[in-house]
Amino acid sequence: MRLTYNNGETLSYWWLNSYVGFDSVQRSQVRPQIDALFDWHRETQLPDYAQLLGEVQRDLQSDLTPTIATARYAAMKKRAVIMFDQALPALADLSLSLDAEQIVTIEKKFASNAESYRKDYLRGDIEERQQFRFKKAMKQAEYWFGDFTREQEAQLRRVSDARPLNNELVGLDRTRRQRILIALLKKIRTEKPARDVAMRWLKEHVSAQYEHTARSENAAFFEASTEGAVGLVVAMANLSTPQQKAHAVRKIQDVQKMLADLAVAAS
């Protein structure tokens, strides 16, 4: 994590460039904007993340409830929105600078991502997909809690399999959101609005996608998926032994120290 974050500016630049294919003018604009975003993030957000982790650490001192886990999930989403809002002026500048060929490049990248999604998530029968999803969840769980016993894994597998599973629907929803974004980028390129207008359109786009997930005909599925994920986290925490919880506390403390070191290095 430390290595990735310390190289976050470079990694973020190359990630964006893989979608867009920057020209020389965009390169000179995007690099300093990414640098400024990371400076802000180190100075203002890392201490906040450490505080949130402290709350999670206290949560592990007793049985975790779905209410608390949901609140922590909402807190993480809130911080993601804060990050997006901070990046919004730079994203508006980038969207205003895109030419037609670059928008096609983004479309091709989305298509490539969709193909990767199909290969990973739309293969095999239900049992294979359940197993694939469970293994991904357990990889994360084992990072925080250490190894689980076979009995624990069997109980967690039952909780995991109880979650709704519809990878086709998730893939279609991803494609729908990408299609809407491409349409917005084409609109910005055609109409060339003022920067504040482009910012508003991008903000409205993100807000509309959140609202669509909550209000669409598939809202029940997405809500149940979130509840299922929360339930799995609760089960992992409450099935863990005192030794496993102590392992999680040490991991949290390690991350807190890392965040503190990174924040100090930025000051």
Average pLDDT over residues 133-161: 97
Band of residue 147 on the pLDDT scale cut at 50, 70, 90: very high
Q: pLDDT of 178-223, one tens digit each? A: 999 999 999 999 999 999 999 999 999 998 887 767 677 888 999 9
Band of residue 4 on the pLDDT scale cut at 50, 70, 90: confident
Q: pLDDT of 48-69, one tens digit each? A: 999 999 999 999 999 999 999 9
Q: pLDDT of 167-188, one tens digit each? A: 999 999 999 999 999 999 999 9
What is the number of residues in the chain? 267
% of the chain beyond a pLDDT of 70 = 98
pLDDT at 135: 97
Residue-by-residue DSSP string for the chain: -HHHHHTHHHHHHHHHHHHH---HHHHHHHHHHHHHHHHHIIIIIHHHHHHHHHHHHHHTTS---HHHHHHHHHHHHHHHHHHHHHHHHHHHHHHHH--HHHHHHHHHHHHHHHHHHHHHHSSS-HHHHHHHHHHHHHHHHHHHH----HHHHHHHHHHHHTS---HHHHHHHHHHHHHHHHHHHHHHHHH---HHHHHHHHHHHHHHHHHHHHHSTTHHHHHHHHHHHHHHHHHHHHHS-HHHHHHHHHHHHHHHHHHHHHHHHH-
pLDDT at 133: 97
